[in-house]
Structure 1
Amino acid sequence: MQATSHPHSYYAASANDKRVRPALQGHVKADICIVGAGFTGMSTALHMAEKGYTVVILESNRIGFGASGRNGGQIVNSYSRDIDFIEHHYGQEVGAEMGRMAFEGGRILRRFVKEYDIQCDLKEGGIFAACNGKQFDELVAKKRLWESHGHEQLELLDEHAIQQYVGSKRYAGGLIDHSGGHFHPLNLVLGEAAALESLGGTIYENSTALRVDEGDKPVVHTEEGSVEADYVLIAGNAYLNGLLPTLESKAIPCGTQIIATAPLPNDVQRRLLPKDNCVEDGNYLLDYFRLSGDGRMIYGGGVTYGAREPEKVEALIMPKMLKTFPELKDVKVDFAWTGNFLLTLTRLPQFGRIGTNIYYAQGYSGHGITCTHLAGKVISDAIQGQAERFDIFAQLPQRSFPGGRGMRIPLTTLGAWYYNLRDKLGV
C-alpha cells in the first residue's frame, strides 16, 4: 500500500514528526480499537492508555490528516451552540451539565502539552471581536452567560481598548477569554500520538477501516488486517468514507479555507497583534486569525463544500485579510489549504453507542478543538463505567439532513449564501 501524505499546508511543512507509521498487517487484539487519529481519537486513546488499557488506532491516511491537522489552531471554549441555546431547547438540567463541561477541553489540552512536553507553539489568550454594536452586545451577553457557569477569565474591551490587542480599525469592541489561546494543531496531535506510543499504544497509518463486525468482541477490518477489541470508537468525523452510512447521514462535511503568509517583520507583528492573541470575529461566516510561532499571519474564514485549489483559496481569503489588515497588501502568501469539518443540523456534537460496546463522536460544527479533547475524557469515563456525562451528550437529538447525501452540496451552498447575507446586513 502506497503511503499517503498530509495535504500541503504550513502545518505539514513545519511538522515536528514526519515519520510514517506502518499499515496494519494481520490480526491483532486490544482493549479498545479507535478509528481515526485526530483529536477525538487521540484524546480518548491517551485517557485510556493512562489507565492501563491497550489501545490500537487505525488511521486511513496520516495522523492529523483531517480537521485536527488543518484547522485554525484556536482554543475556543463552549460549543457551536452556546449554553443558553442548550438550556432553552433541552432544559435547565441539561444546560447546567453541559455548562459544567464547556470549559474543560482546554484544560485537558494544556495538561497533555505540559505532561508530555509537546512542542506546539502554545500561546495564551483568545479574543472575540465585534464587527458592530449588535455583536458587541452579544459579547456582553456571552460574558454574563459564561460567568453564570463559573467561567471568570473574561474581560470586555471597548472600541478603543481593543486597539491595544488588534491593530485594525474594523472592530467595535471585543471580549478576551484569558483561558483561550492558540497553537500548531498538527504538532499537537503528533505530540499526542508520540505520548500514546510512550504509554504502549499502537497507531497504524494508511489503514482504512472497511467494516465493523458487531458482537461481544467487535472486529474492525482493514484491507490487510483486522483488530479485535472489547470496545470500538468511531472517530473519523468528516472522513468516514462510507464506513457507517447511518452516521454520515446525520451531518454534512463543510470546507474551510486558510492561508499563511511569509514570516512578517517583528515590528509588523507587534502592530497587528501586539499581545500575540488569536482572534475570531462575530460573523456567522466568521474570520479567524493569529500569528504562527515563526511570525506568519495565519488567516482563515468562510465555508464551502469540499476542497478548493490553493490559488482559489488565496483569492477568497486575501480580501478578507486585507479588510482587516490593509497593510498586508504586498505580503507573500506561502501556503493556502482547505480542510473539512462536520456540521450537524443542531450544530451540537453527536455522541452515541451502537450496541453496547461501539462508541462514536462526531459533528463539532467548527468548535472541535476543545470539545474533541473533552470527548476523549467523557468517552473513556463511559467505557470505565462512569457514563453520566457521556449520556448527557448522547441524549441530544441527532437529526439527519433532509434530502440525504444528494442534497449536501446545495444545502451547504444555500446556507453559506444565507449567512453571508446576514453578515453583510448586520442582522
Structure 2
Amino acid sequence: MANTPYPQSYYAASANPVPPRPALQEEVQTDVCVIGAGYTGLSSALFLLESGFKVTVLEAAKVGFGASGRNGGQIVNSYSRDIDVIERTVGPKQAQLLGHMAFEGGRIIRERVAKYNIQCDLKDGGVFAALTPKQMGHLESQKRLWERFGHTQLELMDQKRIREVVDCDQYIGGMLDMSGGHIHPLNLALGEAAAVESLGGKIYEQSPAIRIERGANPVVHTPQGKVRAKFIIVAGNAYLGGLVPELAAKSMPCGTQVITTEPLSEDLARSLLPQDYCVEDCNYLLDYYRLTGDKRLIFGGGVVYGARDPANIEAIIRPKMLKAFPQLKDVKIDYAWTGNFLLTLSRLPQVGRLGDNIYYSQGCSGHGVTYTHLAGKVLAEALRGQAERFDAFAELPHYPFPGGQLLRVPFSALGAWYYSLRDRLGF
C-alpha cells in the first residue's frame, strides 16, 4: 500500500513527535465521518467530540499533510474578501452575522492551544504593511470597518512606527493587529489531532476516501476499508481531487511557495522583527514572513495557478526576501517547498450540504488558518441542528470560473497579472 510522507519542509523537519496512526483496513461504524485531517476536519472533529458525537477521521496521507501543515503560519483575521465586499454582495443582515464571525477563528486557535496544551510556538501580533498611499488608505478604512464589528485590538502605524517593528524601508506605514499572530502550523494540527484522540476520536492515515455511497446511510470507501456514518463532513479542500465532482467545478487548486533560512543569530533576528510579529504586505499577490521559534526567517509569496510545483522555488522567493531584507544576502536557505490552497472565483469560502447528510467547507482562497477553525465550529453547530451561522455561509453566491476547468488557469493568471501591475504602478 502506498505511503505518502510529508513534503521536505521546515515544518516536517521540526514537527513534534507523534504516534504512528494505522490505515483503515476494516469496516467501522460512526456518527460522523470526516474526510481530511487538516484544520477544517480536525476542528470539526473536536467540536463534535466535545458535543458527544462519535467521530472517525480519514486522511489520505498524514495529519496536516496539505495546506494546514505547509502554510506561512500566520493568524490573520477576516476572510480573503473583507466584510465590506460581503455586505455589498449579500446585504447588511447576512453581512452582520458573517462580520461578527470574522474574528472568531483566532480565538478558537488560542482556546485550543490553552485547553489541550498544544506546543506550537504561538506568538501574538500581526502586521499589515503598506507600500503605497493607496494601500495605507485601505488600511485606514479596514480599521474603521473592523472596529464597526467589535474588533478593537488595532493600531495604525506611520512610517516611523512601522520601522520599529520591521527593519524594512519599503513600507510607508501599516496596521498592527494584536489579535493576529503566528504559529508552527503543522504542530498546531498535530496537537489538535492528539486532542481528537484524547476524546475518543479515531484518525486513520494513509486512508484516502475513494468513493462515497450517498443516501440515508452514507458509506465512505477507502482502498482497504469503509466507514458507515450518519453524517459526512468533506474537508479535503485543495487535496480533495475528484471525489465530489460538484465541489471541484467551482474551485481551483493553487500553489504558494515558502522558503526558510538557516538559523539566524539572535542579534540579526531581533533586528529584522524586534517584537517577533508576523508581517504580510498589502499587494494583491502578497509577500508574508515571520521568525520561527529557533530564529529562522520564513518567507513566502507567489501563486501558481493550477497548483503545479515550480522547478526552483528558491529562485522565485529568495529575490522577494532580499528586496525586503538585503541584509540577508549571505544567509543560506535550508528549506523550500510549495503547498496548495483552494481558490474560489469570489474569494469567499464555499459551505453547504449535499443531500441531507453530507456537509462541506472549502475554498479559503489563501486565508484559511483562522477561517478553517471557525468552519469546524459552524459545521458542528449545523449537525447539532443550529444552522443559522452555517446558513449565513451557505447562502453566499458562488460562480464557475470563466471558460470552465479548461480555461480557469489562464484566465485567473491574467487577472492576477493585471492586479499585480496595478500594485507595481501604485494604482
TM-score bracket relative to the smaller structure: over 0.9
Aligned-residue offset at 1:408: 3.3
Cα distance in 1 for residues equivalent to 2:373 and 2:348:
15
Amino acid across the alignment from 1:288: Y
Q: Within 1, Cα distance between the matches of 2:251 and 2:402?
A: 10
> What secondary structure, in the 3-state scheme, does the structure 2 residue paired with 1:181 have?
strand
Once the two structures are overlaid, the 10-residue window that deviates more, 407-416 or 329-338, is 407-416
CA distance in 1, matches of 2:300, 2:227: 38
Are 2:98 and 2:392, in contact at CA under 8 Å, matched by a contact in 1?
Answer: yes
Q: How far apart are the structure 2 equivalents of 1:115 and 1:350?
A: 29
SS of equivalent to 1:160 = helix
Distance 1:417 1:154 in 2: 31
Indicate if the aligned counterparts of 2:129 and 2:281 stay in contact, CA closer than 8 A.
yes
Amino acid at match of 1:134: K
Counterpart in the other structure of 2:56? 56
One-letter code of the match for 2:206? N
User: Which residue is equivalent to 2:313?
Assistant: 313
Aligned residue number for residue 368 of structure 1: 368
SS of aligned partner of 1:228:
strand
After superposition, the C-alpha distances for 1:94-113 in whole angstroms (9 at most, x for unaligned) are: 11111110000000011110
How far apart in 2 are the matches of 1:116 and 1:295?
25
CA distance in 1, matches of 2:412, 2:6: 25
Please give the TM-score of this superposition, normalised by the length of structure 1: 0.98
Q: How far apart are the structure 2 equivalents of 1:18 and 1:7? A: 16
Task: Name the residue aligned to 1:22.
Answer: 22
Unmatched 5+ stretches in structure 1: none
Q: Counterpart in 2 of 1:246?
A: 246
- Note if 1:262 corresponds to 2:262: yes
Q: How does 1:170-185 map to 2 (within 5 A)?
A: 170-185=170-185
CA drift at 1:18: 4.6
Q: Secondary structure at the match of 1:360?
A: strand
Q: What is the count of residue pairs matched by the alignment?
A: 426
Who is 1:198 aligned against? 198
Report the counterpart of residue 72 of structure 2 in structure 1: 72
Percent identity at matched positions?
A: 62
Which has the larger displacement, 298-307 or 231-240? 298-307
Q: Which residue does the alignment assign to 1:228?
A: 228
CA distance in 2, matches of 1:304, 1:257: 8
2: distance between equivalents of 1:34 and 1:411?
Answer: 33
| Equivalent AA in structure 1 for residue 333 of structure 2 | V
Aligned to 2:425: 425
What code does the residue aligned with 1:84 have? Answer: D
Partner of 2:7: 7
Give the CA deviation at 1:2.
2.9
**What RMSD, in angstroms, separates the aligned Cα atoms of the two structures?**
1.0
The CA deviation at 1:416 is: 3.0
For the 8 Å contact 2:349–2:363, the answer to whether it is kept is yes
1:187 corresponds to: 187
Alpha-carbon distance in 1 for matches of 2:69, 2:168 = 28
Q: Within 1, Cα distance between the matches of 2:156 and 2:402?
A: 40
Which stretches in structure 2 are left out of the alignment for 5+ residues? Answer: none
Report the residue type matching 1:346 in the other structure. Answer: S
Structure 1 residue 414 corresponds to structure 2 residue 414:
yes
What is the alpha-carbon distance in structure 2 between the residues aligned to residue 416 and residue 312 of structure 1?
21
Q: Which residue of 2 aligns with 1:279?
A: 279
Q: What amino acid does structure 2 have at the position aligned with 1:216?
A: A
Structure-2 separation of matches of 1:86 and 1:124: 27
How far apart are residue 404 of structure 1 and its match? 2.4
8 Å contact 1:307–1:339 — kept in the other structure? Answer: no
Shift of 1:415: 2.9
1:133 is the counterpart of 2:138:
no
Matches within 5 A, 1:56-135: 56-135=56-135
Task: Using the TM superposition, give the Cα deviation of residue 426 of structure 1 relative to its aligned residue in structure 2, in angstroms.
Answer: 1.6
Partner deviation per Cα, 1:40-59 (whole Å, 9 max, x = no partner): 00000000011121110111
SS in 1 for 2:174: strand
Q: How does 1:296-375 map to 2 (within 5 A)?
A: 296-305=296-305, 306-309=307-310, 312-375=312-375
Does structure 2 retain, via aligned residues, the 8 Å contact 1:348–1:365? Answer: yes
The one-letter amino acid paired with 1:312 is N
**Distance (whole Å) between structure 2 residues aligned to residue 318 and residue 88 of structure 1:** 38
Contact kept, 8 Å, 2:129 with 2:280, in 1: the verdict is: yes
- Within 2, Cα distance between the matches of 1:424 and 1:127? 21
Equivalent residue of 1:180, what SS?
strand
Q: Name the CA distance, whole Å, in 1 between partners of 2:419 and 2:209.
A: 36
Whether 1:160 aligns to 2:160 is yes
Q: State how far apart, in whole Å, the 1-side matches of 2:265 and 2:88 are.
A: 48
TM-score by length of 2: 0.98
Tell me the distance in 1 between the aligned counterparts of 2:367 and 2:395. Answer: 19
Say whether the 8 Å CA contact 2:72–2:300 is kept in structure 1. yes
Alignment correspondent of 2:33: 33
